[in-house]
Amino acid sequence: MSPAAIERLAVFHGNRQTALADFFSVTGQPGEILQLEGDLSRIKHIGAGMTGGEIHIEGNAGAHLGAEMVAGTISVSGDAGDWVGPEMRGGRISVRGNAGHMAGSAYRGSPVGMTGGEILIHGNALNEVGHGMRAGLIAIGGECGDFAGVNMLAGTVTIFGAAGIRAGAGMKRGTIVGMQPMEMLPTFSLSCTYHPPFLPLYLRHLRDLGLPVADFHFSTAYQRWCGDTV
C-alpha cells in the first residue's frame, strides 16, 4: 500500500468518517515497523487486534492501546490512557510514562482479561490493573492504584512502587509481587517468609527491559500471603 493509499484510509472523528490524511502526514514506505509522532492522547485503539510487527509512538497514546493484541510490539515514549492491552493475548506493550485505569484487564461484562503477553509500564498506573487476568506478565515501575489483580485467576503482576488498597480482591490463583509494603485484605493470611525461586528469573528479565530492579530485590526475603478466601 502506497503512502497515498494509506492517507485515504477511513478513520472516525467522533461519529464522523473522514480520511486519515485529515490528521496525519504519511512518509516512508510500508513495512513491518510503524512510527507515529505527535500527541496521540485522543487517538484510541492504536494497535488493536495487532498480529505482528512493531508500532513506535513518539509521544502520548490514547485509550485501548493494543486492545486484544495477539503478537508484535508496541512502545510509547510518553503516557498512555485507560485500557492498555485489555484482553491481550500475546506480544509486548511498553509505556515509558504513566498509564490510566484497567491496564491488562477484562472489558466490562467479560470475565476474562489478559491471557498472554507482557505489559511494561515504567511510570505509574491507576486502578484495576490485571482485572480478570488469566496469564501473562504486567510490571509497574512506579505506583499502582486500587484493586490490582482483582478477580485474577493466573499470571503475574509486579509493582515496584506503592500499591493502593484491596490488591488481589477475589483472586483465585496467580501472583502479585509488591516491592513496597502492601495493605492486605483481612481475607488473606500470612503463609511464610521465603525467597521465591521463580522471582530471580522474572527480575533479570525485567531488568533487561529497563524496569527499576535493584540488587537487593534478588537477595531480600519476601512474605507470602495467600487468598482471597472469600
pLDDT above 90 for 230: no
Task: Report pLDDT for 229.
Answer: 86
Q: Average pLDDT, stretch 38-55?
A: 97
CATH number at 33-226 = 2.160.20.60
The residues spanned by each domain of the chain are: 1-30, 33-226
Distance CA 218, CA 65 (A): 32
Distance CA 104, CA 110 (A): 13
Alpha helices in 146-225 (DSSP H): 199-208, 216-219
Distance CA 116, CA 94 (A): 15
107-139 pLDDT per residue, tens: 999 999 999 999 999 999 999 999 999 999 999
